[in-house]
Amino acid sequence: MPEGPEIRRVADRLAEVLVDRTVERVRFGLPRLKPEEALLSGQRVLEVEPRGKALLTHFENGLSLYSHNQLYGVWRICPAGRPPNLTRSLRVALETRDRWALLYSASDIEVLEEHELDQHPFLARIGPDVLAADTTPARIRRRLRDSRFAGRSLGALLLDQTFVAGLGNYLRSEILFFSGLRPEQRPRDLDEDEVALLARQIREVTRRSYRTGGLTELPEEVREAKRLGEPRRSHRHAVFGRSGKPCRRCGARIRRSEVGTRRLYLCPLCQPLRRPS
């Protein structure tokens, strides 16, 4: 499933062709949404906002299009009248004069009024979006110390969208590596410096991935790994997907395990079970 950085890049691409433009025609593929077409057609788009793994397209009349791609949904942008030849089912078409934004295969789609946003079952439950400007390290640190989250293992917490929305499996491994922490540890086991570092890395690693198109490894390490001929799937991350390969910091072999049914990678030396004091 795409994670926060990927969703935000999709939102950026949609915003480029939709924001401040009038959507002359809206078409929905799902019969239950047909009556909403007339409400959105002819409206101007104000903003395309990612919230965790969901997207909100806000229209000037106060209505918002909510979409969550789950595993299968995919957005495509094309010149007006020239949709791509896909075998997927078209679920949403937002048609401006010169561009169409098309959502395929997703089924989690709704049209919401402003007051319904906060009561929406997914939106009401999720924590602050990890890439939102007001999700500061201080705010993340407070959540790590919050009694709702402090007793959870980091391996579970970092995938829990109610803690911080937008993190997923590759980010979990990478954030733990850059924080020097293990998935079994809990926020309550960490001292102030460790919590501060973790809060900073939750934001930093995710932002790096957003800026670079999916790279979480540090730029200088990526350059060196490329020079040594590491393929992209291996050089884009510090530990994720690199089991058996040497850690770029210490040379130890990266290990793979299952944490909460999903794969997790770590360096046994950079992420010691007990940290030296």
Distances (CA, A) of 54 to 22, 71, 103, 104, 109: 22, 12, 13, 15, 10
List the one residue out of 90, 3, 103, 85 whose CA is nearest residue 52. 3
Could you tell me which stretch among 16-24, 33-41, 97-105, 244-252 binds Zn ion (CB under 5 A)? 244-252
Distances (CA, A) of 261 to 29, 152, 161, 173, 255: 34, 16, 17, 14, 16
Cβ atoms of 111 and 40 within 8 Å: the answer is yes
Residue 249 touching Zn ion (CB under 5 A): yes
Cβ atoms of 248 and 227 within 8 Å: the answer is no
Residues between 252 and 271 with contacts to Zn ion, criterion CB under 5 A: 252, 267, 269-270
In the set 167, 247, 264, 266, which binds Zn ion (CB under 5 A)?
Answer: 247
Cβ atoms of 103 and 73 within 8 Å: the answer is yes
List the one residue out of 227, 253, 54, 258 whose CA is nearest residue 271. 253
Residue 39 touching Zn ion (CB under 5 A): no
* 34 in active site: no
Residue 235 CB, nearest approach to Zn ion (Å)? 16
Residue 250 touching Zn ion (CB under 5 A): yes
* Dist CA 98 CA 132 (whole Å): 30
Q: Which is nearer to Zn ion, 63 or 252 (CB)?
A: 252
Which position among 223, 232, 245, 262 bears the catalytic label? 262
Residue 193 CB, nearest approach to Zn ion (Å)? 20
**Residue 144, amino acid:** L
Q: Which is nearer to Zn ion, 53 or 235 (CB)?
A: 235
Which position among 51, 53, 236, 248 bears the catalytic label? 53
Q: Which is nearer to Zn ion, 231 or 251 (CB)?
A: 251
Distances (CA, A) of 4 to 42, 62, 119, 167, 241: 30, 25, 22, 6, 19
Instruction: Name the pairing type of β-strands 22-23 and 74-79.
Output: unpaired
Q: Which is nearer to Zn ion, 138 or 250 (CB)?
A: 250
* 194 in active site: no
* 232 in active site: no
* 204 in active site: no
Residue 180 CB, nearest approach to Zn ion (Å)? 9
Query: For Zn ion, how many residues bind (rule: CB under 5 A)?
Result: 7
- Assigned token pair, 205: 């690693």
Question: What are phi and psi for residue 271, nearest 5 degrees?
Answer: -120, 70
Q: Which is nearer to Zn ion, 209 or 271 (CB)?
A: 271
Could you tell me which stretch among 42-50, 53-61, 139-147, 242-250 binds Zn ion (CB under 5 A)? 242-250
Residue 183 CB, nearest approach to Zn ion (Å)? 16
Residue 181 touching Zn ion (CB under 5 A): no
Residue 254 CB, nearest approach to Zn ion (Å)? 8
* Dist CA 202 CA 230 (whole Å): 26
Residue 236 CB, nearest approach to Zn ion (Å)? 17
Residue 131 touching Zn ion (CB under 5 A): no
- Which spans of this chain sit near Zn ion (rule: CB under 5 A)? 247, 249-250, 252, 267, 269-270
Active site residues: 2-3, 53, 262
